[in-house]
Amino acid sequence: MSSKLGFGLMRLPRLEDGSIDIAQSSAMTDHFLENGGTYFDTAYVYEGSEEAAKKILTDRHPRESYTLATKMNTGVQPRTAESTKQQFYTSLERTGAGYFDYYLLHALGTGNLDLHRQFDTWQFIADRKAEGLIRHCGFSFHDTPEVLDQILTEHPEADFVQLQINYADWENPDVQSRGIYETARRHGKQVVVMEPVKGGTLATLPEAAEKILKTMNPEASLASWAIRYVASLDGILAVLSGMSTLEQMKDNMSFMNPDAFRPLSDAELRAVEAVREVLASQRQIGCTACKYCVEGCPMQIRIPGIFSAYNQFLRFGNRETAARSYKMRTRDAGKASDCIRCGACEESCPQHLPIRDLLEKAAGVLEA
Ligand code: SF4
Ligand code: SF4
């Protein structure tokens, strides 16, 4: 039996010069495989990640010892059918994988459904599957349960879906983790979970929430609760964790290797529900630091960094410390008050955050 933990290659460790740390990433890969992991996840748009997959994985391990997923993205310039389809062949070349076990249309949602129709990407991936270059076709998704229902009705050929699910957003009306999960299962699809730790947010909790989990199990890391929560759901193909250190890999595999894994018990589920209530009572910004909003900002505002500083203020109430962190994060970039309210960022935010209003609030507190 293999582990349900998937190794997300999006946040691989980097060296001081910005390049991916191949030695540490290789050690992480080896530890993952030795402990029953099989599923690796990359994407055409993750900078340097597909090339790294070749160096740390496909060049070093037998092809049948792992499965590899990558993704095609219609947001890449030039946005033409030809160049979008070419991403598939480039990914094959970069990874040296020979074929993809899982191939996804990346980040489907209302904003790009028409483009996928126009570019005929569904037919393109079905053809590659018929050729044996893809084993399973699917898509990752950032939208409402209704839109997911529409896609799965139009494309019953999807073998699986990749969804943003975590315990904190299970009932969150903006993310609707529960709604999208239940929709996928109603269509009989297997689910790959992304961001189970909410971009790292659930690895450090407010004191009251941390206390609930530590009382229950002083040894377990806070991230382990978030990962075990989604891995305990039915129909889960893989739970992706974007690990950045060997230490994180070791921690994750200590409870996710097939011999150690235990679904959450009823008492543990109740503890998670109590944590969810604590989190819901706080008014923090639910930014996952995915950075999708950053590239299109004409004012070079590093939005996730600003939100992180503002969250520090919301969580601990110490304006001075948060303002110092804000100053550092905005040193060579736009400030929150530079926002011209063009709205480009909000179109690309998978969390549907009202970024413009939040920046205004952050500026009010942190630039005062
Ligand atoms: S609304 Fe503000 S933060 Fe968003 S892209 Fe435009 S200038 Fe940047
Ligand atoms: S504001 Fe939205 S798009 Fe930007 S980093 Fe946060 S979650 Fe991602």
47 and 84 both lie in a single domain? yes
Q: What's the pLDDT score for residue 202?
A: 87
Ligand 2: centre distance to CA 218 (Å): 32
- Total number of domains constituting the chain: 2
Counting atoms of ligand 1 from 1, which one is nearest the CA of 356?
A: 1
- The pLDDT assigned to 148 comes to 97
CA of 295 to the centre of ligand 2 (A): 11
Q: Give me the pLDDT at residue 332, please.
A: 86
The residues with which 104 forms a beta bridge, in sequence order, are 71, 138
The answer to the question of residue 292 being in a domain is no
Is 297 within a domain? no
- Do residues 323 and 180 share a domain? no
Q: Which atom of ligand 2 is nearest to the CA of 294?
A: 4
Quote the domain boundaries for residue 230. Answer: 5-279
Nearest ligand to the CA of 333 is 1
Looking at the structure, tell me whether residues 198 and 88 fall in a common domain: yes
Same domain, 321 and 272: no
22 and 151 in a single domain? The answer is yes
Closest C-alpha to ligand 2, atom 3: 349
> What is the C-alpha separation between 306 and 304, in angstroms, rounded?
5
Residues 259 and 307 in one domain: no
Q: Are 142 and 175 in contact (CB under 8 A)?
A: no
| Residue the block writes with tokens 């921690």 | 251
Cα–Cα distance measured from residue 195 to residue 202, given in angstroms and rounded to the nearest whole number: 10
How far, in Å, CA of 249 to CA of 31, rounded?
8
Q: Of 86, 164, 94, 89, which Cα lies nearest the Cα of 134?
A: 89
The C-alpha atoms of residue 57 and residue 68 are separated, in whole angstroms, by: 9
Residue 269 lies in a domain: yes
Residues 320 and 199 in one domain: no
Does the beta carbon of 354 lie inside 6 Å of ligand 1? no
Residues 268, 312: one domain? no
The pLDDT, as a whole number, for residue 298 is 96
| pLDDT beneath 70, residues of the chain | 174, 316-317
What's CA 310's distance to the chain center, in Å? 22
- Kindly state if the Cβ of 298 falls inside 6 Å of ligand 1: yes
- Ligand whose nearest atom lies closest to the CA of 344: 1
Please state the atom number of ligand 2 nearest to the C-alpha of residue 290. Answer: 8
Determine, yes or no, domain membership for 285: no
Residue 279, number of CB atoms within 10 A of its CB: 21
Residue pair 299/272 in contact by the 8 Å Cβ criterion: no
Domain assignment present for 296: no
pTM, two decimal places: 0.82
48 contact partners, CB below 8 Å, separation of at least 6: 12, 19, 20
Residue 212 lies in a domain: yes
- The CA 304 to ligand 1 mean position distance, Å, reads 12
Domain harbouring 39, CATH code: 3.20.20.100
Q: Which-ligand-closest: CA of 353? A: 2
Query: Does residue 312 share a domain with residue 204?
Result: no
Residue of 348, 366, 330 lying closest to 294 (CA atoms)? 348
Contact 258, 32 (CB under 8 A): no
Is residue 287 within 6 Å of ligand 2 at its C-beta? Answer: yes
- Confirm whether 293 is domain-assigned: no
For ligand 1, whether the C-beta of 297 sits within 6 Å is yes
Distance of CA 344 to the CA centre of its chain: 21
Contact 238, 39 (CB under 8 A): yes
Question: Burial letters for 213-245: b for 16+ Cβ neighbours within 10 Å, e otherwise?
Answer: beebeeebbbbbbbbbbbbbbeebbbbbbbbbe
Look up residue 101 and give its two tokens: 């076990």
Measured between alpha carbons, how far is residue 113 from residues 67, 90, 130, 139, 267 in Å? 27, 23, 23, 12, 42
Looking at the fold, whether 172 and 88 belong to one and the same domain comes out as: yes
Considering the domain architecture, whether residues 177 and 257 belong to the same structural domain is answered as yes
Amino acid at the residue 182: E
- The Cα 343–Cα 359 span in angstroms is 12
* Closest to 143 (Cα-Cα) out of 354, 355, 351, 356: 351
Q: Collapse the DSSP code of 16 into the 3-class scheme (helix H, G, I; strand E, B; otherwise coil) and give the result.
A: coil
340 and 272 within one domain:
no
Best substitution site from 306, 307, 349 to test ligand 2's pocket, by max atoms within 8 Å of Cβ? 349
**Is residue 335 a contact partner of residue 301, using CB atoms and an 8 Å limit?**
yes
| Complete DSSP assignment for 148-193 | HHHHHHH-TT--EEEEE--STTTT-TTT-HHHHHHHHHHTT-EEEE
Q: What is the pLDDT of residues 128-168, one digit of tens each?
A: 999 999 999 999 998 889 999 999 999 999 999 999 999 98
pLDDT tens, 48-78? 999 999 999 999 999 999 999 999 999 999 9
The residue type found at 223 is: A
Question: In this structure, is residue 288 part of a structural domain?
Answer: no
Residues 282, 314: Cα–Cα separation, whole Å: 8
Please tell me the distance from the alpha carbon of residue 264 to that of residue 240, in angstroms, as a whole number. Answer: 18
